[in-house]
Amino acid sequence: MSKRENNANNIFRPSDSPLTEHEKEQIALRKNLERLKAERLAREAANSKKD
């Protein structure tokens, strides 16, 4: 692998450094949005079954 390819692969490799507060908040926000989306889709599916 060339040095350029190796560097490109390392960009997407998770780091060993601890998460910053901002990163933790972003992860929590993303999880919450995914949960809310799943709940909304479940409600919409339940409502479409009633009709």
**pLDDT tens, position by position, 1-51:** 688 887 777 777 777 788 899 999 999 999 999 999 999 999 999 999 876
Q: What is the pTM of this model?
A: 0.61
Q: Which SS3 state, helix, strand or coil, does residue 50 take? A: helix
Residues 6+ away with beta carbon under 8 Å from 9: 1
pLDDT > 90 fraction of the chain, expressed in percent and rounded: 57
What is residue 1's predicted lDDT score, i.e. its pLDDT? 65
Q: What gap in Å lies between CA 31 and CA 20, rounded to an integer?
A: 17
